[in-house]
Amino acid sequence: MDPTALAQEQLEAYNARDLARFLACYAEDIRVFRMPVTEPVLVGKAAFGEFYRTQRFNQAGLHAELLGRIAFGNKVIDHERIVGVGSTPLEAAAVYEVKDGLISTVWFYYGN
């Protein structure tokens, strides 16, 4: 699966709250960063899956709307509006790096 299709697949799985389908898009050694922090906040598919199972996919109103996408090489940058996590919508940029057909690293940038 090319990087753009992979980013779209994980977004659709996220919105469906389909954890197995969502995790199938990610490498076993996935690393997640919440910038500007320089150390990963999640490392490994088990920790990643547990976070989404307990902190995201259990939220009834969870939905991410894709506002824009840039793709080049093995990187995809999605600008998203996320609802259902807090009391107000959250805007974020997610930078996905794809290696060997799976997302290996994600950097999240949040607006104020």
Distances, alpha carbon 24 to alpha carbons 19, 36, 70, 98, in Å: 8, 27, 22, 13
Peptide bond into 36 cis (omega under 30): yes
Band of residue 1 on the pLDDT scale cut at 50, 70, 90: confident
As a whole number, mean pLDDT of residues 93-107 equals 98
**Residue 30, phi then psi, degrees to nearest 5:** -50, 140
Can you give the pLDDT at residue 111?
Answer: 82
Q: How many domains does the chain have?
A: 1
**Residue 40, phi then psi, degrees to nearest 5:** -65, 145
Q: Give the domain range for residue 85.
A: 3-110
The percentage of the chain sitting over the pLDDT mark of 90, rounded to a whole number, equals: 94
What CATH number does residue 76 fall under?
3.10.450.50
Pick from 75, 70, 20: nearest CA to 49: 20
Higher pLDDT among residues 92 and 112, named by residue: 92
pLDDT digits (tens, 9 = 90+) for 31-86: 999 999 999 999 999 999 999 999 999 998 999 999 999 999 999 999 999 999 88
